Structure 1
């Protein structure tokens, strides 16, 4: 059965502590500046309200991944559970995937000069365990879900007016942040 795993982030619960990013970096033995997960602080202000929240972002394991489409060596593949895999042995470090990803997920590993990215801790998933980033989230703000099980009417998909973001169909959803009256 084909499914699509994806991340769900409750922006009202995320503290921006970075535990998800640190755990991911440690598990994957990544050095700065390479890191699969990043934390961004976002602030939106209107005339009478303000929204402040954190976004924990990584590879979105897109429904239609641009990295897979542009890779000249076939170093990317998509599993039946929706995980976008990168096979470093096929990678030539051409950076096509980096240039094409609207989310900046693939990065060059300075030790190998090849692309690298989040593989969604697939080996943990195969043993019934959550990805390290999800396990490390102290508030339960970051979750991994089967996208068909998520009630779409309560969520936001991270997109922008850039057409490539809508075309890739990112597998990440956010619970809307609450606005505070000024």
Structure 2
């Protein structure tokens, strides 16, 4: 395991422990294009935030077989104190729910709760589908979003991870989230 992979795994463990989730983690292996190696979240001014993530491989613009094998795949910026997340997602099998890029990457805000069953987290709610500027260049995704569309201040972001969402009957919503590792 490389030092970047070890850091990614450590971040995932810290995310789970800080949110008070179940101790049996179901972190699953994922493609390197969804495993975060670095991230930023900055306020550009009082109206605009810029978030970015660098991953281990080129981020595909359209669904791959891995993405299509899950209800949702994406990258999350999380406030561990509240369970609020801002996510860049792609979900061809779940269906369209965005006017911006319904068949490609788009953003959502959501609220997560502690995991259940085989899930690291459970989706409590999908809170919004804000319009944001999304740029993908090789292994970096950058997002420009209105500060008012984020569910938290950029300074409240504690973790950034790649994830998948799949059906999980033990979650009240029926949707479980698993953090991805290499």
TM-score scaled by length of structure 1: 0.28
Which protein is bigger by CA-based radius of gyration? 1
Report which structure shows greater RCO (CA 8 Å, sep ≥6): 1
| Greater per-residue strand proportion | 2
TM-score scaled by length of structure 2: 0.28
